[in-house]
Amino acid sequence: MRVVFLSPSYPPEMQQYTRGLAEVGAEVYGVGDQPASALPASLKPHLRDWLQVPRIMDEDDVLERVTRWMRGRTVDKVLANWEPLVILAAKIRERWGVPGMSVDTVRGFRDKQLMKERVKAAGLRVPRSERVRNDGEAREAAERIGYPMVIKPIAGAGSADTYKVESARELEAALAKMHGVTEASCEEYITGEEFTFDTVCIAGKPAYENIASYLPKPLEARSNEWISPVIITVRDMYQARLKPGVELARNVLGALGMGDGFTHMEWFLTPKGEAVFGEIGCRPGGACLVDQMNYTSDIDLFREWARVAVHGRFEGPTERKYNAGIVFKRALGQGRITRIEGLNAWKRDCGRWVVEDKLLRPGAHRRDWKQTLLSDGHVLVRHPSWDEAYRMSFAAATDITLYAGG
């Protein structure tokens, strides 16, 4: 089975999907904009061959270069798990006649306004929204939708350039920050809790499902530096309270024509118990969410995704054993990390339920919290009890402090 995999080394978690492909028997032909000499040593054994392109985001150029590179060889799959490249993968599939989701189908998972229109057409609840291409259209949309409202890029990911606006004045401030965005979606702000619904699908049917709770909502976490974002996978995801979200999400997959692979959806649960669609991508969730899912079920979803992509089978366990909570930390101050307080005491309290500590250590330069949810590292715990996973996660959020200076 010969597989062309776009950007197998970046973002870094893509290296795990490359490993998975190789482990299920695929010959992996990687495409990226790094020289082969710069690839991680751990990745190279999983690649059969490598094509360096000047700019991985230049779809037309990459399409022509990859076509020349693979001429004369049969290709069975063309895959991408990084959001900016999913349409390019579909274009290559269509050009070569390779099975997989079409460009039109994938665009429904990439274009936020189009996806809402298709989901709404299936009779499912979505926020009121409009596509806008300039400041004037945004102001007109705000008049029709009303405040509070959310404005975000049509093809964005990870809450980047996404703003909640509660007045015309706040809208103007948001527009001033979005001049590099060519198209945006203005949509109704939904009050309620926010969750994920994640799957590995075979022909649009989930072989593995997951719900995770955002605490607080990503938009709030991305707007306030002092917050330590917490995400907890829900062991009991089929409880009555979350049933409307499960039903909504499965119907969304059908409405958008999902095929094989990962999906990552976000949805809202209102105070009245109504499930409202947020958005969805035909790719895995970022920010270590797949690692959390692995800890939830003692599974290797990097490999199981690959097995689905290559062989159309899912063989991993699906039992949900744990609630897995990840806590992203942001240092106080600027410059290099100088010290960490509270970490050892927190570890003693949580004991064996701590499964990862990947906080930046003293001497490391702190990251730009506005550019990455990963911030200055994370800790991860898991526990069979939701209450205990919640307690340990929020203890990390409040009791561990990183300091930076110099």
Burial grade of 73 (CB within 10 A; 0-12, 13-18, 19 or more): exposed
Task: Return d(Cα 143, Cα 245) in angstroms, integer.
Answer: 30
Question: Which H, E and C letters describe 96-119, residue by residue?
Answer: HCCCCCCHHHHHHHHCHHHHHHHH
- Residues near 10 by Cβ (< 8 Å), separated by ≥ 6? 32, 34, 82
pLDDT of residue 158: 57
Look up residue 76 and give its two tokens. Answer: 């069975």
Work out the angle between the directed axes of helices 301-311 and 289-297 (0-180°, nearest 10). Answer: 100
Q: Which long-range contacts (CB under 8 A, 24 or more apart) does 132-139 make?
A: 132/183, 132/184, 132/185, 132/186, 133/182, 133/183, 133/184, 135/175, 138/171, 138/175, 138/184, 138/186, 139/168, 139/171
Q: What is the DSSP code string of 130-192?
A: EEESSHHHHHHHHHHH-SSEEEEETT--TTTT-EEE-SHHHHHHHHHH-TT-S-EEEEEPPPS
Question: Which H, E and C letters describe 287-325, residue by residue?
Answer: CCHHHHHHHHHCCCHHHHHHHHHHHCCCCCCCCCCCEEE
Task: Return d(Cα 16, Cα 209) in angstroms, integer.
Answer: 20
Angle value at C-alpha 112, between 368 and 59, nearest 5 degrees: 75
Q: How far is CA 180 from CA 133, 143, 239, in A?
A: 11, 23, 42
pLDDT by residue for the chain (406 residues), tens digit each? 999 999 999 999 999 999 999 999 999 999 999 999 999 999 999 999 999 999 999 999 999 999 999 999 999 999 999 999 999 999 999 999 999 999 999 999 999 999 999 999 999 999 999 999 999 999 999 999 999 999 989 876 655 678 999 999 999 999 998 877 889 999 999 999 999 999 999 999 999 999 999 998 888 888 889 999 999 999 999 999 999 999 999 999 999 999 999 999 999 999 999 999 999 999 999 999 999 999 999 999 999 999 999 999 999 999 999 999 999 999 999 999 999 999 999 999 999 999 999 999 999 999 998 888 899 999 999 999 999 999 999 999 999 999 999 7
φ and ψ of 233, to 5 deg: -70, 145
Encode pLDDT of 103-155 as tens digits.
999 999 999 999 999 999 999 999 999 999 999 999 999 999 999 999 989 87
Residues in the chain: 406
Token look-up 């330590």 returns 228
What domains sit in the chain, N to C, each tagged with a CATH number? Answer: 2-100 (3.40.50.20), 128-188 (3.30.1490.20), 193-405 (3.30.470.20)
Task: Return d(Cα 174, Cα 257) in angstroms, integer.
Answer: 34
Q: Are 212 and 266 in contact (CB under 8 A)?
A: no
Q: What is the DSSP code string of 23-63?
A: HTT-EEEEEESS-GGGS-TTTGGG-SEEEE-S-TT-HHHHH
pLDDT of residue 248: 98
Instruction: Report the half-sphere exposure of 150 (CA within 13 A, side-chain side).
Output: 24
Task: Return d(Cα 99, Cα 1) in angstroms, integer.
Answer: 13
pLDDT of residue 157: 63
Task: Return d(Cα 67, Cα 141) in angstroms, integer.
Answer: 42
Q: What is the pTM of this model?
A: 0.93
